Structure 1
Amino acid sequence: MPTYAIGDIQGCYDELMRLLESIDFSDEDQLWFAGDLVNRGPGSLETLRFVKGLGKRARTVLGNHDLHLLAVHHGTAAGKRKDTLTPILNASDRDELLHWLQHQPLLVDDQTLGYTMTHAGIPPLWSLKQAKQLARELEQVLRGPLAHEYFLHMYGNKPDRWRDKEHGWARLRLITNYFTRMRFIKPDGTLDFSANGGPETAPEGYHPWYELPRAKAIKRTIIFGHWAALGELTRPGLAGLDTGCVWGNRLTAMRLEDGALFSEPCPTYLNAT
């Protein structure tokens, strides 16, 4: 009964099905999804229905595109020109699907397997314990009566540096940005949102978040996606699995029991360019 972690699907449903066929995915296997199930690709509705239909056999975390879909659904954000979310918003099972999506976590941790998964990673200034606490803090808001108001305040690049005393919507926005938008970061925890290329494009004074020393070691391998320009990154303690399927590259899965990698080539979707 192997467990496979899969990078950003972004609505590339057909490629997901081919990838699962290539690994002989069976009814006994488990799947982890690193967030961004939806948007840019043509099969976001089918992807949501499939992952939801797996029930307890699937574990997924929320990515920035998933949260954007929820904000549009709540009427607190307008759709963007390159969005491919209309089939979901018009679906007869929309409310059921988006209720399920809104109740997915920001962080998944499995001590037995030795992995922790978030969409963009875990900033080096947080311990695993603190990251789990902050994920729960945001999850409680998403699953409660203040969710609509949260989406009203979700967007924005400020504050951009963690302080424990941060409070209110600014605190929740910053937690969201660390978990779902982080790429480059300063040693003091300041985030940059201007650069989304590979590690070599880091602005002056910034570094890929995973390159900085951690305040407290995380005794897990951190699975993340979000960074298509980074591509596949596997090293001790790290597994970056966003290999840019929607941009014409590959959709990648990693078998957690032994770290074996599998991939499926993808076409370039016009809406992503």
Structure 2
Amino acid sequence: MSTYLIGDIHGCYDELQSLLAQVAFDPEKDILWLTGDLVARGPASLEVLRFVRSLGDCVRMVLGNHDLHLLAVYAGISRNKPKDRITPLLEAHDADELINWLRRQPLLQIDEEKKLVMAHAGITPQWDIETAKMCAREVEAVLSSDSYPLFLNAMYGDMPNNWTPELTGLSRLRFSTNALTRMRFCFPNGQLDMIAKEAPESAPPPLKPWFTIPGPIARDYTIVFGHWASLEGRGTPEGIIALDTGCCWGGSLTLLRWEDRSLFVQPSNRERTIEE
């Protein structure tokens, strides 16, 4: 049995299949971790969702910001942007089943035996592991409930950007969602910056990539994340692994085999473009 971790798929179904074939992935005995953003920008979001759902319990995935945006579009809360290329998914005969399956997926994965943590954007250095679990489960509970459209309508926004246990209600849920699915940079005290998207070396001071700010989780766990394609899997400290290598932008889809830390790469079928 092997544990495979794959970066953001973004509707790149053909590359996903080629990458899994490289390692002879067997859903009967292997475990597949996915960093989120299964959908949008690539050509085959519908096929990706159908395939991942069909794999059943061998998949351990987290939701990304594009997955949450898809839920909001399907609920009529946000606009369907042509560049996301999700119209076939929205119009599919099994769209209801896929959307209801997707909104019941977690935002955080933890394997205590492997000391492995995965979230789409990463883990804010302001959280310890118990706080991270608590905040993720709160968002997951709302998403899987009948009141999920209320949350989706309120999740957009950059504030609050500082964690305190006194946060409540939709403000608390928004902070948790941003920290787990949108974060890139933080101020030195761990406060989130939700504006900067440039390469780490170009960020305006005093902003720092979240993974360069010491936090309690990074001391005890390996953290795996996606979301930040322009990193191209580089520049993170030991014990923090970036797996989004920009397949939908013409980069590649990357897989890490946990047991021996081997990396496998599948080049994109598309010409390279600039990440938006």
* Structure 1 and Structure 2 fold alike (TM over 0.5): yes
1:251 matched residue in structure 2: 253
Q: Distance in 1 between matches of 2:206 and 2:216?
A: 19
- Is it true that 1:53 corresponds to 2:61 in the alignment? no
Which residue is 1:212 aligned to?
213
SS in 2 for 1:246: helix
Alpha-carbon spacing, 1:271–1:78, altered in 2? closer, same or farther (3 Å): farther
Match of 1:201 in 2: 202
Change over 3 Å in CA distance of 1:269–1:229 after alignment to 2: closer
Q: Determine helix, strand or coil for the equivalent of 1:187.
A: coil
**Correspondence list, 1:102-251, <5 A:** 102-215=103-216, 217-233=218-234, 235-251=237-253
Kindly provide the amino acid, as one letter, of the partner of residue 246 in structure 2.
G
Say if 1:250 and 1:265, in contact at 8 Å, map to a contact too.
yes
Shift of 1:257: 1.2
Give the 3 Å change call, closer, same or farther, for CA 249–217 of structure 1 in structure 2. Answer: closer
Structure 1 letter corresponding to 2:244 = D
* Residue in structure 2 matched with residue 99 of structure 1 by the alignment: 100
Query: How far 1:235 moved relative to its partner?
Result: 4.4
TM-score (norm 2): 0.94
2:165 counterpart SS class? coil
- 1:104 CA displacement: 0.3
Output one character per residue of 1:188-242: Cα deviation in whole Å (capped at 9) or x when no partner: 2222222222211222111000001115654111010000011114643211100
AA aligned to 2:6 is I
- Structure 2 SS opposite 1:5: strand
Identical aligned residues as a percent? 50
3-state DSSP class of the match of 1:262? Answer: strand
Deviations 1:109-136 (A, max 9, x none): 0112221100000011101111011101
Instruction: Find the residue that maps to 2:77 and give its secondary structure.
Output: coil
Distance 1:216 1:179, change over 3 A: closer
CA contact under 8 A between 2:10 and 2:41: conserved in structure 1? yes
The alignment of Structure 1 onto Structure 2 pairs a total of residues equal to 273
Which residue of 2 is the match for residue 17 of structure 1?
Answer: 17
208-217 or 36-45, which moves further after superposition?
208-217
- 1:2–1:256: 8 Å Cα contact kept in structure 2? yes
Q: TM-score, normalised by structure 1?
A: 0.95
Residue number in structure 1 paired with 2:87: 86
State the distance in 2 between where 1:211 and 1:36 align: 23
Deviation of 1:270 (Å): 7.4
Flag the 1:171–1:260 CA change in 2: closer, same or farther, 3 A.
same
Aligned to 1:263: 265
> Are the aligned partners of 2:31 and 2:59 in contact in 1 as well (CA < 8 Å)?
yes
Match for 1:268: what amino acid? Answer: E
Q: Is the 8 A contact 1:226 1:242 kept in 2?
A: yes
> Bigger CA drift: 210-219 or 91-100?
210-219
Q: Deviations over 1:131-163 (max 9, x none)?
A: 011101111111112211001101111112212
Tell me the alpha carbon deviations over residues 39-62 of structure 1, each in whole angstroms, 9 at most, x when there is no partner.
000010000001000000111100
Unaligned runs of 5+ in 1: none
Partner of 1:2: 2
